[in-house]
Structure 1
């Protein structure tokens, strides 16, 4: 008899494969088979048999195991994890992974009630695309606000270096280099001066703490080492940059936004909208319209986002990079498309 979560694990495996993780593709397919066979994964997932698909149970399980590897609590499994210097081998790695589930089920279960936390700084390429476009229209300092901010690393957007064909933007010595940030040449413009950085999240991560850094690192897919290195670089920048992420729902956070003369107020989010209730989305958009009605050339408002979005009601979902700006009525402009983890952005 098929386990209730087995097919969801296979679906997530296909997603990981499409996003370039052969390691997680193979592990999740084997985990699905192990669930159907009544293996040790069944006991690990006891009580989670009917968790809904959007809860990301498969990624929660893999993140919990990765955390044990990073904490040096996974024994021989570390030899197969590239993030600690190992090499993934699907034939030899799976038996060791399965043995960990059998020997330490409670340790693996410790993080199963936590939602996956991702703060992929690659998505800052989409944010920078919007900021450059806004700066060409109105060259003002930026007040940057983010909902679904996690650890707030995208609030450091101006501290990263962005490389495109034939050019680059940002500090030469930046610990984070996004390459290629764009599929072609960098968009024209100057990196803006960010004068305020504030985020919100219902479960914020403090990246200045060991626990916070561990949480974000554990949810990076271990065979995607470039993402891991970008995250480590962003931690270094965060340690020396003033910003804050509040424990606050997105609707409450946006309700408190105000405009400020002489600056562009930017609200940004990425791969968040699907997790926000319909009523809260409507509330956020209504508040932005209200703020937009008060915006002028000296205190403009910009809503930037990179979300799975349809161009038309009948179009497939794409990761569109979009802008709504005021004054000007808040009409949506499609600036480009991004890869799911951010890089590269294709400017339109």
Structure 2
């Protein structure tokens, strides 16, 4: 099954590609015997019982599974909105409307973060403009209340913006996915491990939001996209990204960083600029990688570490005097 992939580098995520190709067969009804053991479609979730049937799928569906190995994994983890949007809420004292852009956006689901509900472990919450309650009428199937991140944060940070007005949003990816199509939704769902029910629930809810709130995405590298961005008078321009930086070649990282610095130097109080990231980094030279929320806002340009979280973004522990 994996012949020809022996030298694939680690970041190619070969194991995830293989599992996603099989998961897609399960989600589309193409492997009913295996589906009986996949909790993502109501199965038992017993991996030992699943293995013989899983192996049989590999034997009988070689061409379909191998075709899936060619597709890069696209998870578009919605839980990372807790880190990105929670960080943004702490950076808007100017009250200006926000222009929001993302590199490595996948299907752009995190660009819809202002439509999600964020609950904190201490009982606090940040609610979208019109939060839905269970059973309430909605334009989405079943009266869905939208994406619920619970807990999103350890606490609601001090002085967060009660409302955020996003007037423009867009992003780029080398292979952007249209989340409003059945094929796009399947591509995203198949890349989530089938026993991770909370992640699947978040993603399915976000896909419903995306149908109502389409996002403009372009097929482009991060360097080209960031170099095309400009600031706008009377708006706060924000560039964010999550768990994608390590996949960029060093040269492209340098291009992005140079353009970010140029935008920062051009920023004024009337047209501020913020670079917000949720990425792994070593906080000490020999320390472990930690997934931290960082923000640099201009015209001042001082980077701050706002908090940290598990790789999938929830829950975020905010740093600060009362953390």
Partners of 1:129 and 1:187 within 8 A in 2: no
- CA distances 1:96-148 after superposition (whole Å, capped 9, x unpaired): 1111111111121111011111101100001112111111x322111000000
Provide TM-score, normalisation by structure 2.
0.91
Instruction: Provide the C-alpha distance between the structure 2 equivalents of 1:242 and 1:82, rounded to a whole number of angstroms.
Output: 29
Aligned to 2:314: 343
Paired residue total: 303
**Greater RCO, 1 or 2 (C-alpha within 8 Å, sep 6+):** 2
Aligned to 1:319: 291
Partners of 2:236 and 2:273 within 8 A in 1: yes
Aligned to 1:94: 51
1:168 aligns with 2:139: no
Aligned to 2:62: 105
1:231 to 178, 200, 203: 203
Partners of 1:123 and 1:270 within 8 A in 2: yes
SS at match of 2:22: helix
Change (3 A) 1:87 1:187: farther
Question: Any residues of structure 2 matched to 1:298-309 within 5 Å, and which?
Answer: 298-309=270-281
Aligned to 1:123: 80
Aligned to 2:95: 139
Offset at residue 159 of structure 1 (A): 0.2
Aligned to 1:149: 105
Partners of 2:126 and 2:156 within 8 A in 1: no
1:184 aligns with 2:141: no
SS at match of 2:91: helix
Partners of 2:124 and 2:155 within 8 A in 1: no
Structure 2 unaligned regions, length at least 5:
133-144
Structure with the largest fraction of helix: 1
* 61-70 or 239-248, larger mean C-alpha shift: 239-248
What's the RMSD between the two structures over aligned residues? 1.2
Structure 1 unaligned regions, length at least 5:
1-43
Instruction: Provide the C-alpha distance between the structure 2 equivalents of 1:148 and 1:332, rounded to a whole number of angstroms.
Output: 21
Instruction: Provide the C-alpha distance between the structure 2 equivalents of 1:253 and 1:219, rounded to a whole number of angstroms.
Output: 26
Aligned to 1:71: 28
Offset at residue 267 of structure 1 (A): 0.3
Change (3 A) 1:242 1:74: closer
Partners of 2:102 and 2:239 within 8 A in 1: yes
The runs of 4+ residues in structure 1 deviating greater than 6 Å are none
